[in-house]
Structure 1
Amino acid sequence: YRYEYFSDNTAAFEALKAGVYLFHEEFFSAIWATGYDFPSLDKGWVKREVIADDRPSGAQGFWLNLRRPQYQDRRVREAIALMFNFEWSNETLFYGLYNRTDSFWEGSNMQAEGEGSDAERAVLEPFRNQLPETVFSEPANTPPESTTRKTDRGHVRQANTLLEEAGWVIGDDGVRRNADGEVLTLKFIDDGPAFERIILPFVENLKLIGIDASFELIDSAEFQERRETFDYDVITTRFVLPLSPSVELRNLFSSKSADQPGSFNVSGVADPVVDALIEEVIAAEDREALDTRVKALDRVLRDKIIWVPNWFKGSHWIAYWDVFGHPDDKPPYDRGTDYWWFEQAKFDALVAQGALR
């Protein structure tokens, strides 16, 4: 094997086009939609395939830090979530290639849907007095659907009402303050520019409802330190949750981990019902019980609005030089590339044509 490192994604993509390496998985919608127009693709030397991704998509989102006093009111979190316009982002920035994430266990049998089964309600029933009635009477919380205009005026009205009810009043300067005169702020931080084009329109929408929102690009060392010490308002991250959830849930969502530096509880959620449901998941003795209990946990977490869910693509975007063969079918939960093979005759033919060296 030979390992070669590239300074950035642009350099790596140029190397693929030149045949420096032969297999590439694309993760950027703009490149997948517009970048594959180079000569070797037109000549059939490079192939593109879309391979279905059967795995749960992972929990990627803008995670709000509930340790901050201003985000402890659910109405504030709901107002913030209303101002992220996925539909506009998908059409304008993502070329319509993504789907909206609803669940922490998106794309799995553990995703809460609708009003839930009798078995799921039975798991939640002991906590009825500790949970909002909507957890039992309404479908699982899903992100609001926006218009494809950059700013959804209906959502602006809803968000303004929620913030007024929560005690955040807009002043003559267009900024909201509470009764103590504290400004409602929300700063996004990241250690790379990839999300900047997505976050900045979100920031603009948040300013429309009087939130003093901003985005700051910081270096990776500072980002890591601030993540581990929970020194942020909102953070963008993705967790790939296992197919059989267990003790790792304590690190992600438990009250104990909320104040444990370096834990993965990035939202700081600390709720006795969530703690109890985590322990029930861990104690599940069969697959059916596990799925049901995770659905109950998913439903409760989603109702709390601890994040603004992002998106997923539901497939693998693959580009490769035509020197491989592969079976028609692939195994579940995998790309199946471990079952591909190299075909020397194809390689030699491309070398003879001057496509490869």
Structure 2
Amino acid sequence: MKTPAIIFLSLIVCLSCAAQNPAIKKAQLFLNQKTIGYDCFHITTEGHATTDKDTLFIKQYEKYAFMKNSVDTLTGYNFIAKDSLMHPTFHVIVQPWYCYDGNFFHLKTKTPSDTTYSKSEINSNAKEIIQAVIQGQLPAILQMLQSEHLQALSDTLINREPCFQFTLTEEKTPKFLCLSKKTFLPVMTKIIINPTQPFIQEYYYSNFVTGIKLDASDFTENTKHSKTTKKVGLGDTLPSFQFKYLEGKHIQMTSSKKIKVIYLSMIRCGYCLQALPHVESVYNKLKSRQDVNFFVCYPLDSKEQLKKYALTKKIKIPIVYSAGEEKNEKLKSKIATTLSLTMPSVLFLNSDNKIVDIVSGFSNRFEDLIYTKLSALTKK
């Protein structure tokens, strides 16, 4: 039996072996260059909405270009990310392109029938999206390589390529990084966000290049041949879409003069599932208020899908869906275009049904953000 001193010494050796691995320093040396670009094959695995099987795989083909920005405190880089995926709801090719220039965040989304463009100041919403875009990418890889908690695991094979394998030991969200034993470049990163449902992100990297230029010419408002679609934004009035509760009651959200908080979600969305306990908490705290209506809305999913989903996930709060969308794909597409495809999102409407604030994405501050923005709205 090992003595406590020997066990402690073994633990120190085990935890320090990653830092001593020459692959770490060689990878850092390459990745710390001023400009770097690469391709990324991104797979999102999400547990099925109505069964316990992993049946939903979202495959994205991404191109990234990063340039160091020594004065930027958000990411440390300016970057361009060009994405291409098959949308799991509409089954069409969607190309979201992102550009962060240190001052503004640009988003351009292309589909076979439409192109939209937006330019945002770096507010809290933009920061959330930027962090989501670079998850598993160059800044995150460098953070892992520099962490004192990086621990070496057994070597492995990724697509027949021998790799060093590492993991971060101090985080609740398991993260794994594989470096090529030949080039010392990143081959794969895996992030297990939710092992139960599950919700897993995998990133496979290839075609690394350096000395590149960031070309932001694609990110302009008047792109040739583009068609700008009007989306709901700050100051706009919510369109009078017809919605319905799962139990059958029709609702016209814009008919009330109360302040409204509308949570927009969809079944096939891992972050939406993560947000659910927080949404239920907010609903239970706000349901007795006479001055506020809180709606939990799934505008893109059918009644039957939502019934199974609510039963499987044991959702006890009322759910609102788009009445008639099951038989009308054009209506569903119109709602998606108007309300934006960023899920989850929370819209804050004043008594005149004008949107005065929007929270996009999910974070650990989700509930606090809702209460803070609602408090500011009720004081006006």
Larger proportion of helix? 1
- What's the TM-score once normalised by structure 1's chain length? 0.22
Larger proportion of strand? 2
